[in-house]
Amino acid sequence: MQKDENELAPWQLAMGLALFALLTAFGFGYFGYYLLVLLNGLLADAAAVTINKGAFYCLGAALIGSMLLYFGGRKLQGKAVTARQNKQASRVFFIGLGLAIILPQLIHFPSASYLQAQGYSECELQSRQWLHDKVMVYTNTPEHCIELARADCAESPDRQKCRLLPQFNTNNPVSG
């Protein structure tokens, strides 16, 4: 049997699978942690509730990562992939992709609507967004929002949001 020049050595495949295993475990853990944070905030009527959409994208990615780990493991063992397994892999891929696209919206919009109906409002000082990764913090009072921001700014006053708070604003007024 002739070896393909593009085929990875077993140790390279094993190292790649180890990296995928770490990323997949991180994805499941990140999703699970922020799901618990959200549920705890909703069920405990917390003063602040965090919705991390990026964490909910991770579930679909971790599911796809699990599929890749399975097939990488089979490749490392020298086992062939059957047509049935290939079909199941396609199904898992599309389910994971669908979860990555739909789940963040399915969690965000109903949770945000519920929180707003309960009198919460989004705390812009604590919320942040980078591309599609959006973390929204809802607080039950505007005062609590400012308290959270002050606490963050006391630890790291160089953050951009701290310039919005008068006590952390380093811009000195120009005197004439």
Report the 3 state secondary structure along 53-91.
HHHHHHHHHHHHHHHHHHHHHHHHHCCCCCHHHHHHHHH
Predicted pLDDT at 40: 95
Mean pLDDT of 157-168: 74
pLDDT band for position 171 (cuts 50, 70, 90): low
Predicted pLDDT at 135: 94
pLDDT by residue (tens digit) across 135-161? 999 999 999 998 998 888 888 878 777
Q: Inform me whether the pLDDT recorded for 173 exceeds 70.
A: no
Of the chain, the percentage scoring pLDDT greater than 70 comes to 91
Q: Inform me whether the pLDDT recorded for 127 exceeds 60.
A: yes
Domain ranges of the chain: 10-167
